[in-house]
Amino acid sequence: MKSVFLFVAVLLLPAAAYGDGWAAGSVKTAEGASLDGDGWAADSVKIAKDVSLDEVVVTATKAAKGTPVAYSDLSKDELARRNDGQGIPYLISQTPSVIMTSDAGTGIGYSGFRIRGTDAGRINITVNGVPVNDSESHGVFWVNMPDFASSVENIQVQRGVGTSTNGAAAFGATVAMQTENASMKPYGEYALSAGAFGTVKHMLKGGTGLLYDHVVFDARYSDIRSDGFIDRASAGMISYFLSAAWYGENTLIKFQTFGSAEKTYQAWTGVPSAMLKPSGPGAKPNRTFNPCGAYEENGETRFYGNQTDNYRQEHYHLMASRRLGDFWTMNLTLHYTPGNGYYEDYKAGARFGSYKLPDYIDPEGKEVKKTDLVRRKWLDNDFCGGIYSANYRSEKLQLTAGTAINRYAGNHFGRVMWARYASALPAPDYEYYRNKGEKLDGSAYLKANWLFHPALNGYADLQYRGIDYEINGSDDKAGDNLHISKKWHFLNPKAGLNYRRRGHDAFVSFAVANREPNRDNFTEAGENEHPTHETLYDWEAGYSFRHKGFHAGANLYYMDYDNQLILSGKISEIGETLTSNIKDSYRMGVEVSGGAVVARWLTWNGNVSFSRNRIRNFTEFIDDWDNGGQISNRIGTADIAYSPGVVANSAVDFHYKDFSASFNSQYAGRQYMDNTSARDRSIDPYFVSSLRMGYVFKPAFMKEIALDVTLNNLFNETYETNGWAYSYMEGGVRKKDDGYFTQAGIHAMARIALRF
């Protein structure tokens, strides 16, 4: 801790000691050359003139111009145009190779995305360089970050291994988010969104502007409510964002905190296929059926009223950036994220033994082995650490060195709140398991981008990552003697070449990433399964051409996996998909993008991804309910689950004076829900469009009044974006349990924003 205070003291040294300094967060160099904060100029390499101090915070995690990776940038304005209350997955869904999912069918509440067929548990996601992925599950729960997009400056989506630096390795993509830069002018905004399924969002934000030439305060509060498209899939979420920044001539010190509290009714298991395609005369499909919380009483199906997920999470970031001369900058970020919450559910016909309870003896002396009960499964965790980077930029060399150390401690415990046979409970709120997961994750890296020809630069990156992970205690699945102790040491090299000249941009790269198994891979592994780490060898090449009137490009990739943890199609009791190591698998494809300025008032942008995602020498194992054990089924080469072969997006934007309109479309090909390429266990292709129209009034008494209306699923497509399937043998016949996450038909959202 002493070294931290010493570093802050150095940052506060008199700015005059360093000559020309930064004015309100921008840096000037002796050269006076103009360049944005992302890196080198398009056709020549110059020293940065105006590099925002806020950008220094994320320099180590974002791909700068000239970095040989495939990436897309989303600006604050682009995010704001689409932000009606849906989560980040919805807002990035138009970038190449991205598809989004939503449990409630509207993009509000529990939602997610996949990039190149991989989910967020295998995607490196950061905010201001701080890892967002849960240290144990590796997942990102966007329901805990409602309306976070209203406080985001930009999002960069990197595909492939990318430039991932802090946190878990990227096995499909990196998503680097930067929080909103401080506004040097005072402002205020109130926005109200309302629409289908009882959805209402209130958002209030404002800032002081620059006070006393040094200090800026910004704040936001959001409240989102929705009934959801799926039955009882309600969501109530509040969130906040607070920022206090001090700008010196060469120094930025910023404290930010953001957080949320959510309560959502569970819609984790999807709609069974029997409900979507019922048999029998007069049977009608029920696309909104939600089986969560169902139980039988007196021959009638009822639903438990408090089958909910409840969680609260805060993030605290203390960031300090400093310019040391004309070429060096450095950044230190200290972070702390506490989280606490539970999900509650009704378990019908639960075995006493599963909850470490003795069987019940009724008044007549008969032994009862099962009971209905209500339980709560808790997670109380803390995540903290520090991230440091030093950055050098000259005319020919960009150099970044850094280190990070993060510690996670998570308490997992379960309690039985009620049982039908009350005397079976030893005590109120009976605790039937408790364990603790602890993880220490440290990394160090060195990145270099060197211009050795006016149009050609080379990139090299070497990261070391060490992990120490332990779980101790009792578990509801793994038993009373749960003890897991694992250590990993990974070297992750990356290298590439980039050519840029007169609108032409081409690159080739190679990267290696290693990734450790997550918690469920250990606690829910089969009896003889011993999950091991996986390795990715990522080959990428791309070319693009940009002109003032159009742009076009293509990226080729080949991602070769060793021991990839493959989604098996099995799910845990809360709908989490489970994985197993598969020795040999790959993803390969091409991502084509383009756009054109058709007229001054009309533009078009689009992208399409074609991919082949395969497992070599795959053998399926099916549970045998008749005899116990499993039956093997050798398939050979098979499609990797949840990896569509085609994903395409199109966006047409119209602007005339203060009126704007956009027409967006997405197509996703067939997705198999297990690794057998069986059509009866797959998600059908879908094509979905939306139309947004808006108008901005600019009265004399305020900055503007913005109105817009969005029609989602404009053509009322009947479709699902996600699902699961579990196969088993019974009576010599292959059967299945499944669930599909159906999405809403045509529905509207309207918004009014008052800006001062």
pLDDT at 31 over 80: no
Rg (CA), the chain: 27
pLDDT in tens, 234-273: 999 999 999 999 999 899 999 999 999 999 999 999 999 9
pLDDT at residue 78, rounded to an integer: 87
pLDDT at residue 527, rounded to an integer: 62
pLDDT at 6 over 70: no
pLDDT in tens, 327-356: 999 999 999 999 999 999 999 999 998 999
Query: What average pLDDT does the structure give for the chain?
Result: 88
- Pick the closest to residue 447 from 379, 404, 508, 493 (CA basis): 493
User: Token pair of 366, please?
Assistant: 């008969």
pLDDT at 50 over 50: no
CATH of the domain at 751: 2.40.170.20
pLDDT at 34 over 80: no
pLDDT at 103 over 90: yes
- Give the confidence band of 572 by pLDDT, cuts at 50, 70, 90: low
Please say whether the beta carbons of 566 and 585 come within 8 A: yes
- Give the confidence band of 16 by pLDDT, cuts at 50, 70, 90: very low
pLDDT at 684 over 60: yes
pLDDT at 410 over 80: yes
- Give the confidence band of 188 by pLDDT, cuts at 50, 70, 90: very high
pLDDT at residue 328, rounded to an integer: 92
pLDDT at residue 172, rounded to an integer: 83
> Which residues are bridge partners to 295 per DSSP?
302
What's the structural domain count of the chain?
1
Q: Give the lowest-confidence range in 396-405, 513-522, 564-573, 643-652.
A: 564-573
- Give the confidence band of 22 by pLDDT, cuts at 50, 70, 90: very low
Range 456-470 average pLDDT? 95
What is the percent of the chain where pLDDT is above 70? Answer: 91
Work out whether the CA dihedral 319, 88, 24, 129 comes out positive or negative. Answer: positive
pLDDT in tens, 708-737: 999 999 999 999 999 999 889 999 899 999
Rounded to 5°, the CA angle 527-528-532 comes to 115
pLDDT at residue 19, rounded to an integer: 30
What is the percent of the chain where pLDDT is above 90? Answer: 72
Instruction: Calculate the alpha carbon distances from 589 to 165, 556, 633 in Å.
Output: 25, 6, 28
- Give the confidence band of 603 by pLDDT, cuts at 50, 70, 90: very high
Residues 6+ apart with CB under 8 A from 2: none
Please say whether the beta carbons of 493 and 477 come within 8 A: no
pLDDT at 49 over 70: no
Please say whether the beta carbons of 432 and 356 come within 8 A: yes
- pTM listed for this prediction: 0.90
Instruction: Calculate the alpha carbon distances from 175 to 260, 403, 535, 544 in Å.
Output: 20, 19, 20, 21
- Give the confidence band of 568 by pLDDT, cuts at 50, 70, 90: low
**What is the rounded CA–CA span in Å between residue 506 and residue 545?**
9
pLDDT at 573 over 80: no
> Which residues are bridge partners to 401 per DSSP?
390, 446
Alpha carbon 592 to chain centroid, angstroms: 23
**What is the rounded CA–CA span in Å between residue 309 and residue 231?**
15
pLDDT at 459 over 80: yes
Range 155-166 average pLDDT? 88
Q: With left for phi above 0 and alpha for psi between -120 and 50, is residue 385 left, alpha or beta? A: left
Task: Output b/e per residue, 352-388; b: 16+ Cβ within 10 A.
Answer: beebbbeebeeeeeeeeebbbbbbbbbbebebebbbb
pLDDT in tens, 275-316: 999 887 888 999 999 999 999 988 899 999 999 999 999 999
**What is the rounded CA–CA span in Å between residue 182 and residue 264?**
32
Q: Which domain holds residue 336?
A: 2-755
- Give the confidence band of 146 by pLDDT, cuts at 50, 70, 90: very high
